[in-house]
Structure 1
Amino acid sequence: MNRRLKTLLIKTKRQVFSEMIGNNPSLFHGEGYDFSELREYQVGDDIRKIDWTITAKLQKPYVKIFHEERELNVVAACMAGGSLFFGTHRIKHDVVTETAAILGYSAVKNGDLFTGAVVGDTVEQIERPTKRIFGVNRFVERVDGLNLLGRHSDYIGGIRSLFDRIKRKSMLFVIGDFLTDVDLALLSRRHEVIAVIVRDRFEEHPVPLGQVHLVDPESGRTLQTSFGERSVRKYRARVIENDKNLYRHLNRHRIRFVKIYTDEDPFGKLVKLFGGRV
């Protein structure tokens, strides 16, 4: 494991295990809860669990205590395409790697099962479900070490392959840049799907560059062209149309999503996605 990845894992582990304290014990919770008992409020309890009716009657704060019915199976599906090999602040690949680590450590901390998958045209790698930090580290190291150039991420065929491989109902995070046609409908019928959209701001708001030599990181094809004002407008229109279709699709199938730019902290964005419940 290289020094850069070790530093990232130390930072991420500290965020998950040190900052998830007090009223915010975990990034996500189990699928279901049974009511267990009422007890008087204690310092450190989640104030959202206060039963205000009983509190008003007894003139003392009381909280509802629940126990989880089932553990979660948390799946991080990393879409491994050459387009992730791009970034102005840092490359998108690094953000995907860090996001997978956050999800893995959060699952372990919560006592849930974590499964990691690498998806291209099909499911290329899939880790056995684990509750151990070692298992999370192993998957994250594999994601970080991927050679993305020449790879294609297929959000239709690859996702269909993922559906065939993940049988158990899961909280399934699809992590990628979503810059192509997407179909998560089938996946959302069995799982709770969350789309983590990783982008660089330059991809959405490019500036004229003049004469440039471009290389497609997925196909390897090259193009010598002038990227001026007209080219910028045409490119922006295609990105806007792609994202309109994407958001329409996600909303239609009630799939939550979060967009993380390469200059942002993935941990903070995921915390916000789950309503501050870290």
Structure 2
Amino acid sequence: DWRVTARKQSTHTKLFQEERERPVVVICDQSASMFFGSRGCLKSVLAARCAALLSWSAYAHNDRVGGIIFNDQQLLTIKPGRNRKSILQYINHVVALNNELSAETSASAPQLNRNQQFTLALKEACQVIKPGTLIFVISDYHKLDATGERHLNTLAKHNELVLLRCTDPLEKNLPTGGALPVSDGDHTFYIRGQDEGARKVLSNWDEAITNRVEQLSRNRDVNAWELNTNLDFEHQLAEISRQVSLGASSR
């Protein structure tokens, strides 16, 4: 600033920061595997609450907000917009798919669809999301396959990607009591909690999913967090918000 410099007889500069809208897209999983919870709430409810709060938080920071919601049979996309109508449309779709979840509807979905919907949602994100977007992916990541990983890597190249994995204590550690009924929507069988073999299989399965998500985080400098159905939701999301800057301009 030459005028101030001349008057003060010392160098003064002005710094300007460009104000830019940053699109925020929240991808929310409402598939059959999310219809589970042993304490607190279902994983599907945890994901829905998280999607709603992230959307309103981004709106409060004047960001444009959109989303992708999917279950075992449907895939819905809301383009980012900076208005309450877009957010309410997105949240209404989340609520609608959440309300459709039940053991009966989960069993009626074709097995092929169940295995592919997560991958198709990520493919849709690669096609419609513009570079510089803040992307939240809320899921249990049970259906994450090699193709899905490639889509996540593609999204991470030109966007800020945050992976939020919904978990439940029972998925990590079986109680040592009696037999537990387990169903995939088609078949029901029983697991004995004191069976060391069953406990080991469950532990290995959960560890494999955790490692897959963490590997993505390390390879692409992606933020990855766990949301637990048994813990206070607001406290968990507040901790994540301290690390993820909603409302910041894209870099």
- Please report the TM-score for the alignment, with normalisation by the length of structure 1: 0.68
Alpha-carbon contact 2:182-2:191 (below 8 Å) kept: no
Query: For 2:65, what is the secondary structure of its paired residue?
Result: strand
Aligned length: 212
Q: Residues of 2 paired with 1:212 and 1:271: CA distance?
A: 34
User: Alpha-carbon deviation of 1:123?
Assistant: 7.4
Query: For 2:20, what is the secondary structure of its paired residue?
Result: coil
In structure 2, the residue matched to 1:33 is none
1:65 to 1:272, Cα distance in 2 relative to 1, 3 A: farther
1:189 to 1:215, Cα distance in 2 relative to 1, 3 A: same
Q: Residues of 2 paired with 1:120 and 1:163: CA distance?
A: 18
AA in 2 matched with 1:222: H
Query: Within the alignment, does 1:200 sit opposite 2:149 as a pair?
Result: no
In structure 1, the residue matched to 2:26 is 76
User: Alpha-carbon deviation of 1:169?
Assistant: 3.1
In structure 2, the residue matched to 1:253 is 220
Deviations 1:221-271 (A, max 9, x none): 213234232312221122112212221122111110221111334333233
Alpha-carbon contact 1:118-1:124 (below 8 Å) kept: yes
Q: Residues of 1 paired with 2:16 and 2:72: CA distance?
A: 42
Among residues 120, 126, 133, which one is paired with 2:77 in the alignment? 126
In structure 1, the residue matched to 2:239 is 272
User: Alpha-carbon deviation of 1:66?
Assistant: 5.7
AA in 2 matched with 1:115: G
Deviations 1:46-87 (A, max 9, x none): xxxxxxxxxxxxxxxxxx986443111000011231111111
Q: Residues of 2 paired with 1:164 and 1:123: CA distance?
A: 17
In structure 2, the residue matched to 1:19 is none
Higher helix share: 2
Structure 1 spans left out of the alignment, 5+ residues: 1-63
Matches for 1:121-200 after TM superposition, within 5 Å: 124-146=75-97, 147-148=100-101, 149-150=105-106, 152=114, 154-182=117-145, 183=149, 184-200=152-168
1:92 to 1:275, Cα distance in 2 relative to 1, 3 A: same
Alpha-carbon contact 2:24-2:64 (below 8 Å) kept: yes
Q: Residues of 1 paired with 2:30 and 2:58: CA distance?
A: 22
User: Alpha-carbon deviation of 1:157?
Assistant: 3.8
Q: Residues of 1 paired with 2:203 and 2:94: CA distance?
A: 30
Seq. identity, % = 21
Q: Residues of 2 paired with 1:136 and 1:73: CA distance?
A: 13
Alpha-carbon contact 2:32-2:72 (below 8 Å) kept: no
In structure 1, the residue matched to 2:10 is none
- Please report the TM-score for the alignment, with normalisation by the length of structure 2: 0.74
Structure 2 spans left out of the alignment, 5+ residues: 1-13, 247-251
Query: For 1:129, what is the secondary structure of its paired residue?
Result: strand
Query: For 2:214, what is the secondary structure of its paired residue?
Result: helix
Q: Residues of 1 paired with 2:91 and 2:125: CA distance?
A: 18
